[in-house]
Amino acid sequence: MREILRWLFNLSGKELDEATAAMSKDTAKQRLKLVLIQDRLELAPEKLEDMKKEIWEVVSKYMVVDDDFMEFEVRRVDDLTVLVSNIEVKDLSDLTPAPTG
């Protein structure tokens, strides 16, 4: 595969390493995303983790959700600060009915 890529793009070994390695700006973006959430919420990192866990627990009472895929984002919309969460629903057919009482 490497050889094919090298042949296709006429890259040297070093260039190929650079092209396939994670770009450091992506690491920066990812780290900033998390830091900005904490800053905007003025929440300590452990509190944020607690909140994530609790929200996950509540949602998983009602549907099967992926415990790895849970995204949080704090966005500014005009004057409002909004918390946006993306949670992947694993299996819609397996929706458990809401407990009564």
Partner 1 sequence: MTGRTIVITSGKGGVGKTTATANIGTALAMRGNRVVVVDTDIGLRNLDVIMGLENRIVYDLVNVIEGVCKLNQAMISDKHDYELYLIPAAQTRDKNSIEPEQLREMCVELEKEFDYVLIDCPAGIEQGFKNATAAAQEAIIVTTPEVSAIRDADRIIGLLESSGLHNPKLIINRIAPEMVKRGDMMDQKDVESLLAVEVIGLVPADEQTVVAANRGIPVVHNAKSSAGGAFMRIAARVDGEDIPLMDLEPKNGLLSRFKGMVGMSGRAYSHA
Point out which residues bind partner 1 (CB under 8 A). Answer: 18, 23-26, 28-29, 31-33, 35-36, 39-40, 75-76, 79
How many whole angstroms separate alpha carbon 89 and alpha carbon 73?
18
Q: Which is nearer to partner 1, 5 or 32 (CB)?
A: 32
Nearest CB to partner 1, comparing residues 35 and 83: 35
State the minimum distance, in angstroms, from the CB of residue 96 to partner 1.
36
Q: CB of 32: closest distance to partner 1 in angstroms?
A: 6
Long-range own/partner contacts, residues 76-82 (CB < 8 A, 24 or more apart): 76/40, 81/40
How far, in Å, CA of 75 to CA of 36, rounded?
10
What lies within 8 Å, CB to CB, of 82 at 6+ separation is 74, 75, 76
CB of 31 to partner 1, least distance (A): 6
- Of 5 and 28, which has the nearer Cβ to partner 1? 28
